[in-house]
Amino acid sequence: MSWRSKVQDTMLVPPWLEPLLNTAFFSVCRTHSDAARSECNMYCLDCNDTSFCFYCRSSRHKDHQVIQIRRSSYHDVVRVSEIQKVLDISGVQTYVINSARVLFLNERPQPKSGKGVSHLCEICARSLLDPFRFCSLGCKLVGIKRNGNASFVLEAKNEVELERSEGISRRRVIPSRREEEELREGLQQDIYPPTPPPPPSSARRRKGIPHRAPFGS
């Protein structure tokens, strides 16, 4: 792999993802082996080291970014609600297990897909329930390394563009000093409307009793 490819992969994949996918989970913690919740089913994205248990999190990773790994049919899964906060999981098939939406960390072996299967993983050809590209995070990682046409990094470009457009809009809305004075005068006129002009004198004359002109002698 060339240095350009390595740089590109680094931009598309966070540095903690590949170690996470290669980590073994659900072993017994050596420090807290006698405790009830001693299985190592957590991973720290800040330390990026190894799996640990509930008690290690309380003592060593209290203020760190930690995700919990769960297990389904002897395969490691992670809840979508947790992983989507730190990872772009678009294109990865999700499943609902025990009323929670999850996705698998790595590829799972399966028999060769039969005929009539409409959705397949682009990497391992596993049959998928929905029109997704990958069956797991691991297969998406392989797809990124091969083709570079996907990404795990959450796009912040939309937020930047939104802020930029809002800034342009704000600059357009800000009036000049002359416009501001005219606007202020207009507001004052709205608050203190000018006194209407007096009506014509004919309108102000009160009608009296008509008098006939005297007859000439």
Task: Please determine, for residue 209, whether its predicted confidence score (pLDDT) is greater than 70.
Answer: no
Residue 183: its pLDDT value, please? 41
* C-beta separation of 138 from 20 below 8 A: no
26: left (phi over 0), alpha (psi -120 to 50) or beta: left
* Gap between the Cα atoms of 53 and 62, Å rounded: 12
pLDDT tens per residue, range 140-198: 999 999 998 899 998 744 444 445 545 544 443 344 455 445 444 443 443 344 445 55
pLDDT at 110: 79
**pLDDT tens digits for range 67-126:** 999 999 899 999 999 999 999 999 999 999 989 999 999 999 877 666 777 899 999 999
